Amino acid sequence: MDSELIKINKLKSVEDWTTWKFQIKVMMIANECFEVANGTVTKPELPNQNANAEIRAAYQKDLKQWLKLDGIAQKLIALDASEQSLLHIMNCESAHQMWNKLQSIYKAWESTPPADRTVDNLVARLIMEETRLSARKSEPVGALAAKGNARDGKA
């Protein structure tokens, strides 16, 4: 699995989001952990104190499997995210939280469900946009001119 990770470009900006999301989703599906990341499969709930040994054993087995899949999904997400993207997900406790946080930052605000249009999500999105715009502004003017000439076939 580790050799496959090298082929995925790190998530750096909103421009990378669609491709990165597709590649990571494919990797998670191949590793049978996408349903944990997207929240379809949730962490098993602790049985009540009166549960019999069979129910407790089943819970332990299900929890162990879920933790394994969650760990794989977290690994796939974290290893293929830039340092800037990692700052947004470092405090997440599950792959599902990481996946949702990155989606709230990188997908278009207008397509965000109204329930997800929170101040926290908006602030995170604005910070990413400001970082992206600042990076563009700091690019030397000569470099922009050279890029333009290269496209025109003049360089």
- Tell me how far apart the alpha carbons of residues 101 and 129 are, in angstroms, rounded to a whole number: 15
Q: Work out the percent of the chain whose per-residue pLDDT is above 70.
A: 78
- pLDDT per residue over 11-62, tens digit each? 887 778 889 999 999 999 999 999 999 999 999 999 998 999 999 999 999 9
Domain count, the chain: 1
4-8, 90-94, 130-134: which is most confident = 90-94
User: Domain range for residue 68?
Assistant: 2-152
- 93 contacts 113 by C-beta, under 8 angstroms: no
What mean pLDDT is predicted for residues 84-97? 93
- Tell me how far apart the alpha carbons of residues 18 and 109 are, in angstroms, rounded to a whole number: 14
How much is the pLDDT for 136? 62
What is residue 117's three-state secondary structure? coil
Alpha helix (H) ranges present in the chain? Answer: 2-5, 17-30, 34-37, 53-79, 83-89, 95-106, 119-137, 141-152
Q: What is the DSSP letter of 8?
A: S
Show the tokens assigned to 69. 């899949």
How much is the pLDDT for 147? 47
Show the tokens assigned to 144. 């922009």
Facing residues of 11 across strands? Answer: 81
